[in-house]
Structure 1
């Protein structure tokens, strides 16, 4: 009887030992699987974040890189596609301001744009400007501020042997009017230089693009 009890106890011990032996590896395997899943998820998150950053940097580089210019771009904007605020006419480029200012500031603003206040030297140029400035007032590069009655163009061109298009009765120097502008129908008028009106800047056609038609 004693011997049978010992055998039963031994059998129970073996079964418990077997269960403990089988449970431990399963627990370890579950832990390893969880760690692997967490590691894979973390890797995916890091990789996705890195890919998003690289994509954003690539997009910025593409946006900042110079865009290729086609011949069609220059046909539409011969004064340069990057400066579409300038209008082309007969070998020159013109900027028509959107804000009003006095004559001195207008002259300086044109200089900042590597240009000068417009110097009108022909009827075709006058006609072009008249169509763009009708019913508004625009400064031009003509003044007698230095010597009353001695009109000068800002580029040194000869005024007295060149083209003029004064309104009848002008210039009359009424009230110390020393600067000229286009007004109304586009005729020239003298007015005091602190008057506020729009202005026109002028510069030559960019190098290499001369000879295109209007």
Structure 2
């Protein structure tokens, strides 16, 4: 029994000695280092690929969530959640002021809101504004300041070749220099001095 144990210990010693000899060989060390580097590289590539897939999936989830929120926000606030005082109609957003001012000042205030005084160029828009203003005086973007009797919208388009809704007998420039238009009774248009103080309507495209 002791003899067999002695043989076993001798064999183990030889195996250890052989391994030590192998490890002392520079070629063996380089091979082991190369294998270790290759293994680390493979593990890193697999981990990086996994992270990339997870990141892509997370981005898609965020985009989908954003689309859902945007859709819900548009239903509730078609002019944008940060512009709740604006009213939506037929692809445009309208702001009906709560303060009165001159036509020129109203023009500037609309521009500060990245919009312009309203252009009323259809029956549908006229009905919308008429219902909303309820016989109050509101400036619209129509004037003949550049040439008397030549009424143009604020974007330069000629009002005489399109839709109009002047009150009977208007514009008449009855008090002279009545160069700006506002909506009044039943939403009809009337010319008046541009320094007159009225409420005003701003218009801008609805956000996409």
1:189 counterpart residue number:
190
**Deviation digits for residues 36-87 of structure 1 (CA, Å, limit 9, x no counterpart):** xxxxxxxxxxxxxxxxxxxxxxxxxxxxxxxx94522210211101110110
Does the residue aligned with 2:126 lie in a helix, a strand or coil?
helix
Q: SS where residue 73 of structure 1 aligns?
A: helix
Bigger mean CA deviation after superposition, 76-85 or 120-129? 76-85
Matches within 5 A, 1:54-93: 69-93=69-93
Map of 2:206 onto structure 1: 205
Task: Give the Cα separation in 1 of the matches to 2:145 and 2:130.
Answer: 25
Distance in structure 2 (CA, Å) of the matches to 1:83 and 1:69: 16
* Residue of structure 1 in register with 2:153 after alignment: 153
The secondary structure found in structure 1 opposite 2:203 is strand
Unaligned runs of 5+ in 1: 1-67, 209-214
1:34 alignment counterpart: none
> What CA distance in whole angstroms lies between the structure 2 residues aligned with 1:151 and 1:96?
23
> What is the SS of the residue equivalent to 1:111?
helix
Any runs of at least 4 consecutive aligned residues in structure 1 with deviations exceeding 2 A, and if so which?
68-73
- Match in the other structure for 1:110: 110
Q: How does 1:5-20 map to 2 (within 5 A)?
A: none
In 2, Cα distance between equivalents of 1:182 and 1:169: 14
Aligned length in residues: 140
User: Taking structure 2 as the reference length, what is the TM-score of the superposition?
Assistant: 0.65
Rounded to whole Å, the distance in 2 between the matches of 1:69 and 1:181 is 39
**Separation in 1 of the partners of 2:158 and 2:143?**
12
Q: Any stretches of 5+ residues in structure 2 without a counterpart?
A: 1-67
1:131 — aligned with what?
131
Give the conservation status (yes or no) of the 8 Å contact 2:103–2:194. Answer: yes
- Answer yes or no: is the 8 Å Cα contact 2:151–2:158 preserved in 1: no
State TM-score, norm by structure 1.
Answer: 0.63
Hey, what's the Cα distance between the residues in 2 that align with 1:112 and 1:69? 28
